[in-house]
Amino acid sequence: MLTIIEDIEDIEDRGHISLKMSSSEVASWQTTFAYSAALTLVAVSTVMFLHSWLFSKPRYDFHGKHVLITGGTKGLGLALAKRLAVNQQAQVTVCARTERDLNETTRAIREAFAEDHFGRVQGIVCDVTDADQVEKMIASAEGAFGPISVLICCAGQALPGHFVEQSVEDFKRQIELNYVGSLLPTHKVVKNMVERKQKDGKIIFVASQAALMSMAGYAAYSPSKFAVRGLAEALRHELLPHQIDVHIAFPGNMNSPGYEVEQRTKPAVTKKIEAGESLHDPLDVAIATLDSISKGEFAIYGGNFSGYFLGRMARGLAPYGNHLLLDMLIAPILVIVAFAHRKYIIDKAHF
């Protein structure tokens, strides 16, 4: 062994080989590494592009389609109604509990129409937690604009609070509006679609990031949105033979009247955890959401980058995308992000 070491040292001393890299060799190695990384990135991007090109569906066209939006007079629902009626030229039915809100919404949308505009809008008063009212509303909507092609369940409300300080009625109220208020119109619309063998139907549930994870302050709200998520995942599977597409949106906090209301009862610890989050514009979320729907995406994050990563971490076996290669690449990162996020929430919860 000593002889071998001495031989190596003798060869190095005579300049036959060098065990140290010169500056030119370092530069060459760095260049090679950079080219390899670039080629790898190009290869991954090419595979992702080809996968998307080969397996993606044609974009869905809302033009002329009858779209029913529940809770369409405020926040995201209002932004979706305007975008669909004005920009997509759809036939939009908006339902809400108060006639005053409906009149203001339909008037504002009609004023934005051009002279040769094809889209139309109508408003119908309805409490989506009442089965009889829902059935009558849908019959009235289809009587005016024809069969409903797209249902967007946007009616909902968050009433945050400490678990021990909220009443049982607070829990029931949010289950009724957020879950039952999505279930009843969906049940009737889907039943109609199946009976007439409609093949281009779409059901969109608007949930929340609180349907991907929960935390202090959302003990009454999150379960109602988790229920919507469960319904969406079940229906996506069940309605495949009928060629009815199901989507679910997980928007973050938005600058809307609903957000102002929830701030009144939101515990300090919840506000503390959410302090670093952006407040999104409902119109921006609406544009991104409709784009995702038109591309056939099941899980929709409304252009929210943090929501996208949260969805990737929380999806389990749910069909939240077909980006297998991308999922494999970011999986190690998600593990670290999830650990850091959990620690952040736990630290903030020490109130």
Ranges 32-41, 246-255, 257-266: which has the least confidence: 32-41
Residue 37 has pLDDT above 50, yes or no: yes
The residues, any chain, with a CB within 8 Å of residue 313's CB and separated by 6 or more, are 212, 334, 337, 338
Q: Is the pLDDT of residue 47 over 90?
A: no
* Residue 84 pLDDT: 96
Residue 53: pLDDT band (50, 70, 90) is low
85, 93 contact by CB (below 8 A): no
DSSP class of residue 203 equals E
306-350 pLDDT, tens digit each: 777 777 777 776 765 556 666 667 777 777 766 776 666 666 666
Locate the domains of the chain by residue range.
66-348
Q: What are 270-312's pLDDT values in tens digits?
A: 998 888 788 999 999 999 999 999 999 999 998 877 777 777 7
Taking domain 66-348, whether its CATH number is 3.40.50.720 is answered by: yes
pLDDT above 60 for 10: no
Q: Which helix (H) or strand (E) holds 35?
A: helix 23-55
pLDDT computed for residue 275 by the predictor: 84
In sequence order, the 6+-apart residues with CB closer than 8 A to the CB of 263 are: 271
**Tally of CB atoms within 10 A around 172:** 13
Which sequence positions are flagged as catalytic? 221, 225
Average pLDDT over residues 175-183: 97
- CA end-to-end span of the chain, whole Å? 65
Query: For 187-210, how does the pLDDT look when each residue is reduced to its tens digit (9 = 90+)?
Result: 999 999 999 999 889 999 999 999
What pLDDT is recorded for position 116? Answer: 62
Mean pLDDT of 258-266: 92
For residue 219, pLDDT beyond 90: yes
**For 218-229, what is the mean pLDDT?**
96
Q: What is the pTM of this model?
A: 0.80
What pLDDT is attached to residue 19?
A: 44
Q: Are 248 and 205 in contact (CB under 8 A)?
A: yes
Rg, the chain, Cα only? 27
- Name which of 42-56, 212-226, 248-262, 325-339 the model is least confident about: 42-56
Q: Which two tokens stand for residue 60?
A: 């869905």
